[in-house]
Amino acid sequence: MVFLRTSEKTGSCFIRTDQLDGETDWKLKVAVSCTQRLPALGDLFSINAYVYAQKPQLDIHSFEGTFTREDSDPAVHESLSIENTLWASTVVASGTVIGVVIYTGKETRSVLNTSNPKNKVGLLDLELNQLTKALFLALVALSVVMVTLQGFVGPWYRNLFRFLLLFSYIIPIRCSLELFSLSLRVNLDMGKAAYGWMIMKDDNIPGTVVRTSTIPEELGRLVYLLTDKTGTLTQNEMIFKRLHLGTVSYGTDTMDEIQSHIINSYSQVHSQNSGNSTSSTPSRKPQSSAPKVRKSVSSRIHEAVKAIALCHNVTPVYESRAGVSGETEYAEVDQDFSDENRTYQASSPDEHARVPQATKLHTPFWPENLLAPHELVALVQWTESVGLTLVNRDLTSMQLKTPGGHILTYYILQIFPFTSESKRMGIIVRDESSGEITFYMKGADVAMSTIVQYNDWLEEECGNMAREGLRTLVVAKKSLTEEQYQDFESRYNQAKLSIHDRNLKVAAVVESLEREMELLCLTGVEDQLQADVRPTLEMLRNAGIKIWMLTGDKLETATCIAKSSHLVSRNQDIHIFRPVTTRGEAHLELNAFRRKHDCALVISGDSLEVCLKYYEHEFVELACQCPAVVCCRCSPTQKAHIVKLLQHHTGKRTCAIGDGGNDVSMIQAADCGIGIEGKEGKQASLAADFSITQFKHIGRLLMVHGRNSYKRSAALGQFVMHRGLIISTMQAVFSSVFYFASVPLYQGFLMVGYATIYTMFPVFSLVLDQDVKPEMALLYPELYKDLTKGRSLSFKTFLIWVLISIYQGGILMYGALLLFESEFVHVVAISFTALILTELLMVALTIRTWHWLMVVAEFLSLGCYVASLAFLNEYFGIGRVSFGAFLDVAFITTVTFLWKVSAITVVSCLPLYILKYLKRKFSPPSYSKLTS
């Protein structure tokens, strides 16, 4: 909606957009001045006016429209931009607002930018699907063989379907013909829910949230980790570290010198103003044409600090006045500037706003390259620390308090916000005391180097600060005469009213001012590394995970953070990919890169686009060989594109981790997305599969929980398959002995019991098993490399389990038939008892680390089976109950029964235990060498 009027006297209000884009900083919105100036609220309904708005579009960063009032003479035309609009799903943080709705429903930007994220399926699930298809083919083949051996007598097709139903236990999709059945899918999903619960209950990674319960095993299969820089590897806590004036540089240990210069400078100014307040203006106006005089260090510091204190969009907020109504909030504004109640709110520019669907926008942008609100606040807080304090700001003016307590008022004539194209912001202010008009500007060095006057130090010092990991800003100014400003204002307003190509025309007018500006200073702000980033990255690298850092920051800063965080190890070379724009340049640079070995790659987003356009396969192949890759100047679209490239070209599992809305597209595109709850809001955290509070938690999440989830699910899946295969083998033996009759060996209730209370608890207790202790997994991250090879669940291990099932099923059935020939009527009870004991023993042989719940599960299942013998005796007959074959309780208590059942069970399990012992003795797994 277009913002027409507010109860705030300033004509503006703040809105909170944390529910829309995850941003925690407030956005400043400005009412249309024509309607804001109306004497009363009711006058809105008596004027004759209309709003022109552009058609609905995807781009959330811009809006073009005009407000026209026709009943005034002359007609009032006012341009509308994104700052004159209010958005759906946001909260008004100050005052009340009235507006006119222009977009609803499907026309709103949020709905237009909505895209359905893909449903993520784990690699383990895909592998199990392949094995299930193989089992289905085995089921059909076995049924056809049985019908063939029958001789296709009678209605053979009917027998074929009966055999398909009899042997359907082969496929773990269903374990019983009854309504109550447990499948492989149910077991795995319950296991995944248990893994998620264990992750969230881990005291070593507090605050971790599992938002997707379907892919915990992916944490144990990752090969590529793509990480954001700002707020992920760094804390997103900005600290002012350096002020460089060209000839002199000030660091944290010399800030007191700046403070003394500021105190002296303003004390001199105020003493001069008392007697000669008007003479300063004419002497400064012809400054541009007069011969340059080298200024003193004190005056240069004074100008630099004043520029930093004025050139921003920060607003001071006073907590003590939060409850005061808008009518009186600013009435006594210059009388209540208590420092202890002041906080700063930086409204991030609309170009800086981040959305989860940024991948669908046609205009690329570099959010991290723009000034983050925390960086803006850090600059203003620094000026306060050296004596020049921002005490008030509204739409038309701002007030600074000097060290002596005097209030300086500056009228805001124009503001030029940051955009991704300009990479700079500007402000034109008029000094209330002298009337002097000054144009201040600050921005990235790449944008400002062509705007400021010639100098021989800016480029070098920017590189030096970037190598220290500092975020740099160049600050400049230009004094304007009244005539120069009036000429600019008329051209600027005319450009803003333009309907077609408004942005281009406005930018052209502003650029006419951006010439030969006086370079004031270079600032350096540090974004500190998060806790334990270095050991965590080293652990991940030792685990065989290749780490790619995707950031919107400049190349030098990204390279410095890569080194300081040990993303690039000390003994590795770094190959910086030179900027390329054509196919030929890309070909030459790729050839140069191909000659390098074992070196990290640093490439910019623009060069990356060119390489992917002409040499996609070659570039990805070369980049995947690097131990680390740093992509700087990356847009959210490029981040998601890189993830998809790695998935497509390598087929390996990828993980993306970030903390801001600009990382959401990357997180959703990756096989496993991890979000960090940071200062940029919770949007990345809410969109991710796993949410953590600190980057260092990813080490335990992958090494411990990823390992356990994958190993346990692999064992659980194969055991459920084995459970179905063994009983199908027994059915096949039974049918073949009885002239291939399609008669079920066990009644339905026994099958339900077999799939549930008799075996479910011990089999499911495998979710508590672990092959390596957490401490060992963290101490030796190299163990993680084995997981990525997928050896815990493969066609090889599957065939081994198939052979085990065939062997055990054959032994159990043939053993029951051979040893109990004289008591053949009891063959069901004999074979079923041996089957249950075999399953319980197999679980015990598979377990590597015992948990007390596993013991409880084993004995509970055995107790349930023994107890059920007394209640389900009619189901232990062969074929139908009407045949009269019932379980003889006296028979199962004889020593002969117990001895023969034990013998069958031992023959089915003992050889497997011996083979397992020999394999572990002569070909032990890597982790067993450590645990021993």
- 343: pLDDT confidence band, cut at 50, 70 and 90? confident
Q: What percent of the chain has pLDDT over 70?
A: 85
The more confidently predicted of residues 325 and 269 is 269
Distance of alpha carbon 212 from the chain centroid: 13
Q: What is the pLDDT of residue 484?
A: 93
* Rounded Cα–Cα distance for residues 746 and 809 (Å): 14
Higher pLDDT residue, 10 or 438? 438
Q: What is the mean predicted confidence (pLDDT) over 140-149?
A: 88
pLDDT score at 835: 92
pLDDT at position 288: 41
Residue 334 reports pLDDT greater than 60: no
Task: State residue 535's pLDDT score.
Answer: 93
Provide the 3-class DSSP secondary structure of residue 437: strand
Query: Which residues are identified as catalytic?
Result: 228
Taking the C-alpha atoms of 592, 598, 599 and 601 in order, what is their torsion angle to the nearest 10 degrees? 80
Q: How confident is the model at residue 181 (pLDDT cuts 50, 70, 90)?
A: very low
Mean pLDDT on 850-872: 87
Using 50, 70 and 90 to split pLDDT, how confident is the model at 566? confident
Exposed e or buried b per residue across 382-406, where buried means at least 16 C-beta atoms within 10 angstroms of its C-beta: bbbebbbbbbbbbbeebbbbbbeee
Indicate the Cα dihedral angle 9, 12, 18, 21, nearest 10°: 170
Burial of 230 (C-beta count, 10 Å sphere; 0-12/13-18/19+): buried
Q: pLDDT-based confidence at 479, cuts 50/70/90?
A: very high
Phi then psi for 104, rounded to 5 degrees? -135, 160
pLDDT at 108: 84
Place 680 in a pLDDT band, splitting at 50, 70 and 90.
low
pTM comes to: 0.73
Element (H, E) at 222: strand 222-227
- Determine phi and psi for 770, rounding to 5 degrees: -150, 135
pLDDT at position 825:
61
pLDDT one-digit tens code per residue, 194-228:
999 999 999 999 999 999 888 999 999 999 999 98
Q: What does the longest C-alpha to C-alpha distance in the chain come to?
A: 127
SS3 883: helix
Amino acid (1-letter code) at residue 241:
K
> Does pLDDT of 366 surpass 50?
no
User: Which has the closest alpha carbon to 726: 75, 27, 149, 169?
Assistant: 169
Cα–Cα distance between 861 and 141 in angstroms, integer? 34
Q: Which of 128-142, 471-485, 727-741, 806-820 has the highest mean pLDDT?
A: 471-485
Q: Which residues contact 375 (CB under 8 A, 6 or more apart)?
A: 238, 471, 525
- Does 294 score more than 50 pLDDT? yes
For 558, what's the count of Cα atoms within 13 Å in the CB-facing half-sphere? 28
Angle at 438 between CA 437 and CA 439, to 5 degrees: 130
Give the pLDDT band of residue 376 (cuts 50, 70, 90).
confident
- Is the CB of residue 24 less than 8 Å from the CB of residue 679? yes
Over the chain, what is the mean pLDDT?
Answer: 82
Which of residues 175 and 761 earns the better pLDDT score? 761
| pLDDT on residue 744 | 79
Query: Any idea which of 539-553, 750-764, 765-779, 888-902 has the lowest mean pLDDT?
Result: 888-902
User: Which region among 399-403, 702-706, 887-891, 897-901 has the lowest average model confidence (pLDDT)?
Assistant: 887-891
What is the Cα–Cα distance from 244 to 247, expressed in whole angstroms? Answer: 8
Average pLDDT over residues 124-147: 88
State pLDDT tens for residues 74-83. 888 899 988 8
pLDDT in tens, 310-325: 998 888 887 644 443 3
Q: How confident is the model at residue 175 (pLDDT cuts 50, 70, 90)?
A: very low
Q: Return the pLDDT at 291.
A: 45
What share of the chain has pLDDT > 90, as a percent? 37
On the question of pLDDT at 289 being above 50, the answer is no
Three-state secondary structure of 639-680: HHHHHHHHHHHHCCEEEEEECCHHHHHHHHHCCEEEEECECC
pLDDT at 105: 87
Q: Is 526 left (phi over 0), alpha (psi -120 to 50) or beta?
A: beta
Range of weakest confidence among 104-113, 441-450, 610-619: 104-113
